[in-house]
Amino acid sequence: MPGHHALTFSAVPDRDQAVRTVLGRAPSGAADVGEVLAAVGGVKDHDHEGWFAAWRDLGTRVAERADASAVRGHRVSAAGAYLRAAAYLAAAVDAAAALESDADLLPTFRAHRAAWDRWVATSGRDVERLDLPYEGTTLPGYLFRSPGPGPRPTLVAVNGSDGALTSLWSGILHGALERGYHALAFDGPGQQSVLLEQGIPFRPDFERVLTPVLDTLLEQPGVDARRVVLFGMSQGGYWVARALASEHRPAAAVLDPGVVEVATSWEREVPHSLLTLLAKGDDHAFDRDMALGMRLSPATARTWRFRARPYGAEGYAATLRAVRAYDLRDVAGQITTPLLITSPEGEQFWPGQSERLASLTAPGIAEVVPFTAAEGAGGHCQPLARTLTDERVLDWLDERLAAVDLTPAGA
C-alpha cells in the first residue's frame, strides 16, 4: 500500500479509517474538516469512552447550533449543521457499538436519526419518506427527487454492514442528484434502525429485500422503470450482487467494492488452529479458545462485538458460520446486469475480491475500475476521494443509461 498511510489521523487503524471516512464527506456538506480534527485530535489510543464522547459531543454541539439557526430563520445554516451533526452522531453510533455497555447505543442512534430527519425537513430538497414493505413490517426509505419534468433515471443505494444514511448521502446520493437522478436510500435488515429499533438481523439472500423495494419504487411517480440503477457500498457490494443473481430489472449497477466471500475479512484475524476446530465441528472448543483470545485482546473483542451484532447469532462459532453464508461463488454467474466494480489500492477488508467477482461473472458483464493511493484514492471505499469516485462511477452509469432503448412500447 505505497503512500496509502502517508497521512495518518490515528495509530489505531479503525479510528484512522473512521476519521478518513468522515473527512471524505466534506464535499457533500456532511463534514467540516476543522471541527472534526479539533474534536478527535486529542483522544488517546486506548481511551474508548473518550473516542465515543468526542463524536457524540461534536454531533450534539452542531445539532444545537442547527436548532438555534432554525429558530432564527436561517434555513440554509440550519440544514447544513443538521447534516453534519447527523454524520458526526453516526460516527458516535459506531463508537458506542464497541463499548462494554450498550447503554449509549440506542440513544445515540436516535439522536443521529433525529438530526438526519431535521436535515431532510430543512434541506429544501424534494424528499419523500417511503415505508417499504418487508415480510410483515416496513423498512424506512427516503426518495430524493431531482427537479424538472419527466420520468428520471433512479438510483437505489444499498448500505454496508454499519453504514448510516449519511454514508449513502456522501457516498453516492449527493452526486447522483447533482446529475439529475432521483435516488432512494433505505435501511435494510440488520442496518441501523431496522436492527436497533426492530431487532431484525442481516440476511444473505438480499433478493428477498431488494425485489419488494423495487416493486414499491416502480410505483412512484417520475421513476423511469427502464433506467433504475443500483449502488452497493462496502458490504452492500455483496448484497447488490447477490440480489442481481435473480433480480434482473435494473439497467446497471455499481459495486463499491466487489465482495465475493464476506467471511474472509473475519477469518484472516482468526488463527488457523481455531479454524481447524471449526472445520471439525468442534464448536465448543472453538468458542472456548476464542473467548480466551478475546480476553487477551480487548481491542479485538470490541471489534468482534461491533461486527457480530447484526448477524443475530449466539457464540463465536455460530457467528462465523452465519457470516460464511454470505458467499457469491455459486450465484455470480447468474448476474446479467452490467456491473462496474471499484478496486481501491490497499483494500483492507476484501483485497482482490473485486477482480475475483468480475472473473466469476459471464464475459462482458463486469468492468473493474482501479483507484490508487497516488491519486489519494487508496483504502476501502476510497474515503478521501468520493468526488473522484462520483465522477468515475456516475459517468459510467450515464453512459450505460444513454444506451437504454427509450422507444415507447408498440412504437
DSSP 8-state code for residue 261: B
CA 397 – CA 403 distance, rounded (Å)? 10
For residues 182 and 155, the answer to whether their CB atoms sit within 8 Å is: yes
Q: Which residues pair with 244 in a beta bridge?
A: none
The per-residue DSSP string of 118-184 comes to: HHHHHS-SEEEEEEEEETTEEEEEEEEE-SSSS-EEEEEEE--SS--HHHHIIIIIHHHHHTT-EEE
The per-residue DSSP string of 329-382 comes to: TTTGGG--S-EEEEEETT-SSSTTHHHHHHHHSPTTSEEEEEE-GGGT--STT-
The C-alpha cell that represents 188 in the structure block: 435494510
Residue 77: active-site member = no
CA 95 – CA 214 distance, rounded (Å)? 33
Cα dist. 24→100, 118, 137, 357 in Å?
Answer: 29, 22, 34, 26
In one letter, which amino acid is 384? Answer: L
Choose the catalytic residue: 123, 167, 234, 265. 234
Any residues with CB less than 8 A from the CB of 24 and at least 6 apart, and which? 31, 170, 382, 383, 384, 385, 386
In one letter, which amino acid is 119? Answer: W
- Beta-sheet strand order (sheet of 366-371): 126-134, 137-145, 182-186, 152-158, 223-233, 252-256, 339-344, 366-371
Any residues with CB less than 8 A from the CB of 331 and at least 6 apart, and which? 242, 245, 246
**Secondary structure of residue 186 in the 3-state scheme:** strand
The per-residue DSSP string of 84-125 comes to: HHHHHHHHHHHHHHTSS-STTHHHHHHHHHHHHHHHHHHS-S
Q: Are strands 339-344 and 252-256 parallel, antiparallel or unpaired?
A: parallel
Cis-peptide, bond into residue 221, ω within 30° of zero: no
CA 59 – CA 51 distance, rounded (Å)? 13
CA 379 – CA 373 distance, rounded (Å)? 8
Active site residues: 234
